[in-house]
């Protein structure tokens, strides 16, 4: 890859504010001589425009330690003539997970617009005075300036759009937000656009930040919308999932939805309120899907149904889901 054998020489920021979708290393070579001349600036501007990126790192080829005079001369020539450009892109996304890296750095997993799940390194982000400290915390929705190398990103700047800091102030909301981030992190794919999941997570965090809105209900709606996005929505019609006959009272996770009296073995009786709540969430756009309330009985039933459904159809049982309900016992 282009980065191997290069070191960072300087940073060139584009004057124009470009929105970036692409992330790649520009392999163009530029003359180092006259790097800051007007002509070179124009050239770099043009490259920024073409790559739709906000800035470039100018890289210089690393030369080995030299001994002889002729080698030293060669080194000088290399430094003058050879450079490479590394594109800086603006990446918008939510921090799903943060992990310490080394003594002062951090690695974060971000669900990024247009890119899906990506790994990003924030150098020195655990230092108290780091400008990356705020933007690389869990739940943070940010515009990151970053450059990519071999599928990994290094953050050079993080502009916070929404920190969702309030989620940390209330245990119930925090537990639900941790679960939502964990769930998204587990099922999000690398290198594949998952913007609908990103929007759902954003909406869920916004609802969790609202005082008076039940965090457990927000979690269940998040799950319902997520299984809809994942394309494994249960059959909630009045027809049996097995035979197609009339079905109105039983739900079977294994059969994938409503079942008739005949095929009800292994199923659960489902209340009308629960059925209607599920149908409502599936039928509404994201902007409306959270706009209702349910009784505690319905919420409990939704919880049981979804726990089993996600386990069967996504092969997923997350500790953070239990934590959402059980942390109180630990206090
Ligand atoms: Zn049937």
Query: How many CB atoms neighbour CB 150 within 10 A?
Result: 8
Identify whether residues 276 and 198 lie together within a single domain.
yes
Q: How many structural domains comprise the chain?
A: 3
pTM, full prediction? 0.75
Across residues 127-153, what is the average pLDDT? 91
End position of a domain, from candidates 72, 88, 104: 88
pLDDT value of position 36: 44
Q: 234: how many CB neighbours lie within 10 A of its CB?
A: 22
Which of 24, 53, 88 delimits the end of a domain? 88
What distance in angstroms lies between residue 253's CA and the mean position of ligand 1's atoms? 14
* Residue after which a domain boundary falls, among 165, 189, 209: 165
Residue 95 domain-assigned (yes or no): yes
Residues 229 and 99 in one domain: no
3-state secondary structure of 119: strand
pLDDT tens, residue by residue, 28-43: 333 333 344 455 566 6
- Whether residues 267 and 181 share a domain: the answer is yes
Q: Within a domain: residue 116?
A: yes
Instruction: Dig out the tokens for 230 from the structure.
Output: 């994942």
Report the CATH number at residue 121. 2.40.50.140
Distance 276 CA to ligand 1 centre (A): 20
158 and 238 assigned to the same domain: no
**160's tokens:** 């916070």
The DSSP code for 165 is G
Calculate how far, in angstroms, residue 79's C-alpha sits from the geometric centre of ligand 1. 76
Give me the CATH number covering residue 266: 1.20.1440.120
46 and 24, same structural domain?
yes
The pLDDT of residue 272 is above 60? yes
Domain span holding position 135: 90-165
Residue 301 CA, ligand 1 centroid: distance in Å: 22
Please tell me the distance between residue 240's alpha carbon and the centre of ligand 1 in angstroms: 5
Q: Cα of 249 to ligand 1 centre, how many Å? A: 12
Q: Does residue 1 form part of some domain?
A: no
Q: Does 320 share its domain with 216?
A: yes
Express each pLDDT in 62-117 by its tens digit.
555 556 666 666 655 544 444 455 678 899 999 999 999 999 999 999 999 999 99
Specify whether 198 is located in the same domain as 325.
yes
Q: Is the pLDDT of residue 139 over 70?
A: yes
In a domain, 273, yes or no: yes
Q: What is the rounded average pLDDT of the residues 109-133?
A: 94
222 assigned to some structural domain: yes
Of 171, 184, 94, 203, nearest to 138 by C-alpha is: 94
Which residue pairs from 105-109 have beta carbons closer than 8 angstroms and sit at least 24 positions apart in sequence? Answer: 106/132, 106/136, 108/136, 108/155, 109/185
> What are the tokens at 169?
């102030």
Distance 258 CA to ligand 1 centre (A): 9
- pLDDT number for residue 217: 96
Shared domain for 318 and 170, answered yes or no, is: yes
Please tell me which residue, 18 or 180, carries the higher pLDDT value: 180
Closest CA to 96 of 229, 201, 236: 201
How far separated are the first and last CA of the chain, in Å rounded? 51
Within a domain: 289: yes
Please give the pLDDT value at position 319: 84
> Are 158 and 206 in a shared domain?
no
Query: Residues 180, 266: one domain?
Result: yes
Same domain (yes/no): 83, 105:
no
Tokens representing residue 209 in the block: 């930040």
Q: Are residues 38 and 152 both part of a single domain? A: no
pLDDT of residue 142: 96
Is residue 208 in some structural domain?
yes
264 within domain boundaries: yes
Residues 6+ apart with CB under 8 A from 20: 51, 52, 53, 54, 89, 90, 91
pLDDT over 80 at 298, yes or no = yes
- Tell me the three state secondary structure of residue 87: strand
Tell me how far the alpha carbon of residue 229 lies from the centroid of ligand 1, in angstroms.
26
CA nearest 97: which of 73, 114, 122, 72? Answer: 122
What is the token pair recorded at 107?
Answer: 């690695």
Tell me the CB-side half-sphere exposure of residue 46, using CA atoms within 13 A. Answer: 8
């Amino acid at each position: 890859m282009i980065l191997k054998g290069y070191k960072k020489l300087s940073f060139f920021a584009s004057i124009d504010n470009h929105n970036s979708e692409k992330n790649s290393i520009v392999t163009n070579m530029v003359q180092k001589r006259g790097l800051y001349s007007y002509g070179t600036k124009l050239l770099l501007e043009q490259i920024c425009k073409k790559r739709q990126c906000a800035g470039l790192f100018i890289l210089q080829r690393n030369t080995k330690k030299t001994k002889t005079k002729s080698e030293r001369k060669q080194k000088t020539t290399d430094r003058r003539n050879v450079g490479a450009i590394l594109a800086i892109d603006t990446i918008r996304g939510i921090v799903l997970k943060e992990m310490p890296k080394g003594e002062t750095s951090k690695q974060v997993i971000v669900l990024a617009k247009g890119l899906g799940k990506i790994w990003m390194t924030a150098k020195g982000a655990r230092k108290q005075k780091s400008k990356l400290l705020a933007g690389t915390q869990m739940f943070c929705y940010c515009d990151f300036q970053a450059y990519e190398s071999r599928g990994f990103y290094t953050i050079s700047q993080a502009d916070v759009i929404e920190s969702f800091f309030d989620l940390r102030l209330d245990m119930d909301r925090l537990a639900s937000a941790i679960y939502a981030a964990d769930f998204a992190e587990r099922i999000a794919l690398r290198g594949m656009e998952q913007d609908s999941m990103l929007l759902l997570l954003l909406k869920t965090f916004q609802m969790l930040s609202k005082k008076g809105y039940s965090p457990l209900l927000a979690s269940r709606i998040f799950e319902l919308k997520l299984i809809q996005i994942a394309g494994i929505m249960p059959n909630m019609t009045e027809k049996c999932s097995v035979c197609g006959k009339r079905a109105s009272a039983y739900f079977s996770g294994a059969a994938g939805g409503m079942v008739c009296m005949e095929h009800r073995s292994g199923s659960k009786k489902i209340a009308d309120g629960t059925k209607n709540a599920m149908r409502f969430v599936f039928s509404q756009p994201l902007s409306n899907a959270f706009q209702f309330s349910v009784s505690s009985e319905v919420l409990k039933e939704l919880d049981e149904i979804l726990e089993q459904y996600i386990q069967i159809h996504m092969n997923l049982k997350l500790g953070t889901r239990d934590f959402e309900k059980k942390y109180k016992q630990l206090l």
